[in-house]
Amino acid sequence: MAKGQTKFDGGADPRLVAAGYHQRTKHHYDRYANSPGHMDWGTQPEPFRRFIGAEMIQLRFPESDQTPSYDLLYEPSAIEPQPVNIDSLSAFYFYSMALSAWKQYGASSWALRVNPSSGNLHPTEGYLLLGALEGIAAAPGLYHYAPKEHGLEHRARFTDRSWSQLMSGWPANVFFVALSTIFWRESWKYGERAYRYCQHDTGHALAALRLAAALLGWRLVVINDLPDTQLEKLLGLDRDDAQREHEQESPQLLAAVVPYHDLVKHGAIDILDAADDGQWFGAANQLSPDHRAWQAIDVVQQACRRQSNWQLTTDFTAGIGQAISYEPCPYSAGSIIRQRRSALDMDGQTPVTQHRFYAMLSRVVPGLCPVPWDAVAWPICTHLGLFVHRVTDLTAGLYVLVRDPSQLDALRGALRSEFVWQKPPGCPEALPFYLLAAGDCQGLAARISCHQHLAGAGAFSLGMLANFDDALSRYGAPMYRYLFWETGVIGQVLYLEAEAAGLRSTGIGCFFDDAVHEILGITDTSFQSLYHFSVGGPVEDRRLTNLPAYRNSVNVTPAS
- The gap from C-alpha 319 to its chain's centroid, in whole angstroms, comes to 20
**3 state SS of 198:** helix
Closest approach of ligand FMN to the CB of residue 408, in Å = 27
CB 68 within 8 A of CB 333: yes
Query: Closest CB to ligand FMN among 396 and 539?
Result: 539
Query: Which of 237, 269, 510, 549 contacts ligand FMN by CB under 6 A?
Result: 510
Query: Closest CB to ligand FMN among 283 and 539?
Result: 539
Q: Is 428 in the site for ligand FMN (CB under 6 A)?
A: no
**What backbone torsions phi and psi does residue 325 show, to the nearest 5 degrees?**
-85, 150
Burial 183-201 (b: 16+ CB within 10 A, else e): bbbbbbbbbbbbbbbbbbb
Q: Is 27 in the site for ligand FMN (CB under 6 A)?
A: no
Query: Which of 124, 350, 452, 526 contacts ligand FMN by CB under 6 A?
Result: 452
CA distance 197 to 193: 7
CA distance 162 to 274: 5
CA distance 497 to 331: 12
Total Cβ atoms within 10 A of residue 525: 22
Query: Which of 18, 99, 112, 388 contacts ligand FMN by CB under 6 A?
Result: 112
Q: Is 200 in the site for ligand FMN (CB under 6 A)?
A: yes
Stretch 322-361: interaction string toward ligand FMN, x if CB under 6 A: -------------------xx-------------------
Closest approach of ligand FMN to the CB of residue 305, in Å = 21
CA distance 356 to 341: 20
Q: Is 117 in the site for ligand FMN (CB under 6 A)?
A: yes
CA distance 374 to 82: 19
HSE (CB half, 13 Å, CA atoms) of 281? 16
Closest approach of ligand FMN to the CB of residue 495, in Å = 7
Query: Closest CB to ligand FMN among 127 and 197?
Result: 197
Q: Is 120 in the site for ligand FMN (CB under 6 A)?
A: yes
Pairing of strands 460-466, 504-508: unpaired
Query: Closest CB to ligand FMN among 117 and 525?
Result: 117
Query: Closest CB to ligand FMN among 506 and 528?
Result: 506
Query: Which of 18, 427, 501, 508 contacts ligand FMN by CB under 6 A?
Result: 508
Which residues face 383 on adjacent strands? Answer: 465
Q: Is 509 in the site for ligand FMN (CB under 6 A)?
A: yes
Stretch that binds ligand FMN, among 118-126, 233-241, 309-317, 321-329 (CB under 6 A): 118-126
Q: Is 189 in the site for ligand FMN (CB under 6 A)?
A: no
By the 10 Å C-beta count (0-12 exposed, 13-18 middle, 19+ buried), 43 is classed as middle
Q: Is 506 in the site for ligand FMN (CB under 6 A)?
A: yes
Q: What angle do CA 82, 83, 88 make, to 5 degrees?
A: 70
Q: Is 44 in the site for ligand FMN (CB under 6 A)?
A: no
Q: Is 529 in the site for ligand FMN (CB under 6 A)?
A: no
Query: Closest CB to ligand FMN among 116 and 478?
Result: 116
CA distance 504 to 116: 13
Query: Closest CB to ligand FMN among 131 and 491?
Result: 491
Q: Which residues bind ligand FMN (CB under 6 A)?
A: 112-113, 116-120, 197, 200-201, 204, 341-342, 452, 506-510
